[in-house]
Amino acid sequence: HLANKMRYTNVPGQQSLNQIDAMDMLILLDLIGDKSVQFQNFFDRTTGKYYNRLRDIESGLFRSYNNNAYKRTVFSADVRGSFIEDDHVPFLHLDVPILHLISVPFPSTWHRDTDNEANLDFPSITHLRNVMKIFVIEYLHLNPQIC
């Protein structure tokens, strides 16, 4: 698994810091292309503040969009106590905080013949891209003028 490889790989130039210990969190985006995409907060204790920031960013975008723009909430206020088995589990076992953005319920096209490009909802994808772009710019303290 990638997580184990990263556990035993040092950060370049850092003799005592492996790639896992250097991670602030793992953000896993999954099942994000459907028009009914809906995220919930799975790990409120460890990454809830980041999930809530995504919700705040989304609210701000809604205020800035024109009247014809996408205005369906993707980031629900729900805190979900259940667990979805996914690619993040090996990282979770190594104590990496997880921000799991997976659409719940799963899209109706998931793992079917209709799970293809024809069923991607580009307004939803564009909206999610806008939210994530702002989040990454803020998190990494980048200059938004050059991003």
pLDDT of residue 147: 77
What's residue 40's pLDDT? 95
pLDDT digits (tens, 9 = 90+) for 20-72: 999 999 999 999 999 999 999 999 999 999 999 999 999 999 888 876 677 88
**Which pLDDT belongs to residue 134?**
97
- Structural domains present in the chain: 25-146 (3.40.630.10)
Lowest mean pLDDT, pick from 21-35, 71-85, 86-100: 71-85
What residue type is 5 in one-letter code?
K
- Which pTM was predicted? 0.90
Amino acid at 81: G
Residue 28 contacts by C-beta under 8 Å, 6 or more apart in sequence? 86, 87, 88, 98, 99, 100, 101, 102
What is the predicted pLDDT for the residue at 38?
94
User: Lowest-confidence range among 39-43, 108-112, 132-136?
Assistant: 108-112
Amino acid at residue number 127 = H
What is the CA angle 50-56-31, rounded to 5? 65
Q: Once rounded to an integer, what is the mean pLDDT over residues 2-20?
A: 97
Other C-beta atoms within 10 Å of 101: how many?
Answer: 23
